[in-house]
Chain A
Amino acid sequence: MFQFSSDTILFGVLRLCAIAAGSVLLLVFVFLVVESWPALSNVGLVRFFSDESWHPAGENGLFNLLPMLWGTLFVTAGSVLIATPLGIFSAIFCHYYAPSWMARVYRRLIELLAGIPSVVYGLWGLVVLVPLIRELQPPGPSLLAGIVILTLMILPTIALMADAAISNVPKQYLHSAAALGLSRWSTIIGVVVPAARSGLFAGVILGTGRAIGETMAILMVCGNVVQTPSSLFDPIRTLTANIALEMAYALNDHRSALFFSGLLLLLLIIVLASLAETVRVRGEVNV
């Protein structure tokens, strides 16, 4: 009945795989909307941002997600702000200043750093970093601890992407710059960085995505107190930590509100991804 050639089989299989992969995001989105619907209809969108606190269990639950949204944003912004220059400058150093053996060792180290499971970072943070911060200012688990841990976690992502982006700068550019008599530093600032811009940006976006989504390590070092931090030493709770902490025992509207915070996270990531896409497309047009 059917005549199968290897091409047609391959085509069918590939198309199925593509459909499956594509529909996952859609399914997750639909699932989150369906699960958060009870909270959205019973509690209402406004109360997630105007209630007086986050005490969702019991009869008259309060559902303010804002402190945790701030927590997520602060800890992400802090770590991206620190990890971005560190990652990009270390990649530049490794390409244009370091001896080749050192560059090789450095790349291996960064790759290794990227492979460490997040719970290990969390454990290190809990037993080493948090007591250190406590010496400075009690209680120790804090926004600062979260920023430091996240910086360590996203640094390899940004550094590796920057490394790849810099490698992809066409050799002619460098030769032309040399022919013009530009110094090494002027070449880097005037030629390499602009040419590698979209790749560098993609690395930062990828790192930001990882920072927003990180749960385990943050849960262990941030203290998880629901409050808008007024200093670096205040404990905070992120949206992801909130889901991980409370989902196991949440019921009814509480449970549904947690799904809503998941939906918020997904929307944040979608915004980030489309931002990255816009910059990438524009970058290609310019170069």
Chain B
Amino acid sequence: MPLNCDQWRFKAEGNMNVHSCVKATIMLLIASFIGLALASCGNNDDTRKLVLTGSSTVAPLAAELAKRFEALHPGVRIDVQTGGSSRGIADARSGVADIGMASRSLKPEESDLFGTAIARDGIAIILHKTNPVEMLSDDQVVQIFKGTIKNWKDVGGLEAPISVINKAEGRSTLELFLKYYRLKSREVKASVIIGDNEQGIKTLVGNPNAIGYVSIGAAEFNVDAGTPIKILPTKGVEASSENVANGLFPLSRPLTLVTKEPPEGLAKEFIDFALSSDVHNLIKQLHFVPIQ
């Protein structure tokens, strides 16, 4: 092994003991590294592997499902990689991934693929409980988020400035919200930007004049827990898990697993598992709505 041990010699003492001791330690380290590398490379022939790529909205759910699936099926390894819905669909088509993940339903030009919705994601507009405003039209929401309506009295509320709570760039909730209201990210004039749902709800509770939007699952959980927020309907449809599950609620989308052929083998097992009622608690944990 081309290892120059001289540089490790302790100059003040320079005796052989130190030298060989250090040498031994280094050898031991190298040996353990090689051991580790071999262990991780060692491919077990019994291992069955499933690769999922695509939407970063579906990925956290898929990763949790995969964890549980692996625990139930020893010898199965599931790889979940993110990269957006379009990558998920492209990878499923090209065969790079066994299953593609998309946070939308398949488009007509993708009818050569097979999609299975495993859950739905919905967004609720939320206000503070003390805010007298009971509903907002889509146009009013757009104007509030664009900053053209700045005061609650313009939409039938009290004389008070509106604070807009927006989501951070890259969040799927933001993406769906912008898409539904046909807004561009840079058009939104926010006064607070938040990361996850909980932070948004806490910010809203601290500011009765604010308006925000969060996943319906998170909003319902907080209303049940007595948090002083209220959920507004969208286009007259009540924002509830049921209306998301039955597809009535407009501000929602399906989380879809995509395969090239009708699912079979391990892919079918995994998709069936994702649809089973055993995983409903997992889906709800991530603030998505299970499909009945």
Contacts and interface: CB of A to CB of B under 8 A. Distances in A.
Interface of A: 1-5, 8-9, 11-12, 15-16, 53-58, 126-127, 130-131, 134, 138-141, 219-220, 223-226, 235, 237, 244-246, 248-251, 254
Given A246-B168, A251-B82, 10 more contacts: A2-B17, A139-B163, A139-B191, A139-B192, A141-B191, A223-B191, A223-B192, A249-B56, A249-B172, A250-B170
B207 A130 contact: yes
B170 A2 contact: no
B21 A2 contact: yes
B292 interface: no
A53 B186 contact: yes
A130 B206 contact: yes
Contact of A245 (B8, B161, B168, B190): B168
A247 B110 CA distance: 31
A138 B193 contact: no
A84 to B, nearest CB: 30
Interface in B120-156: none
A235 B192 contact: yes
A237 B206 contact: no
Contacts of B194: 224
Interface stretch (B33-41, B195-203, B236-244, B282-290): B195-203
Of the four ranges (under 10, 10 to 19, 20 to 34, 35 or more), the interface on chain B belongs to 35 or more
A140 B206 CA distance: 9
B18 interface: yes
Contacts of A53: 186
B206 A138 contact: no
Given A55-B186, A126-B203, A126-B206, A219 B191 contact: no
A102 to B, nearest CB: 36
Contacts of B169: 54-57, 245-246, 254
B161 A138 contact: yes
Contact of B22 (A12, A58, A235, A237): A12
A54 to B, nearest CB: 8
B17 A5 contact: yes
A224 B196 CA distance: 13
Interface in B14-59: 17-18, 20-22, 24-25, 56
Contact of B193 (A130, A225, A254): A225
A4 B193 contact: no
Contacts of A220: 199, 202
Interface string B165-196: 00011111000000000000110001111110
A244 B195 contact: yes
A198 to B, nearest CB: 31
A249 B170 contact: yes
B83 interface: yes
Contact of A140 (B163, B168, B185, B199): B163
Nearest to A1: B20
7 residue pairs, one from A and one from B, having the closest CB atoms: A249-B170, A139-B191, A224-B193, A245-B168, A139-B163, A223-B192, A8-B17
A2 B20 contact: yes
A287 to B, nearest CB: 31
A57 B170 contact: yes
B250 interface: no
B209 interface: yes
Contacts of B191: 138-139, 141, 223, 225, 235
B228 interface: no
A8 B21 contact: yes
B172 to A, nearest CB: 7
B96 to A, nearest CB: 17
A146 to B, nearest CB: 13
Contact of B171 (A131, A134, A249, A251): A249
A151 B197 CA distance: 28
A138 B192 CA distance: 11
B207 A139 contact: yes
A22 B203 CA distance: 41
B53 to A, nearest CB: 12
B221 interface: no
A130 B10 CA distance: 58
Given A225-B192, A249-B56, A138 B163 contact: yes
A145 to B, nearest CB: 11
Contact of B170 (A1, A3, A251): A251
B233 interface: no
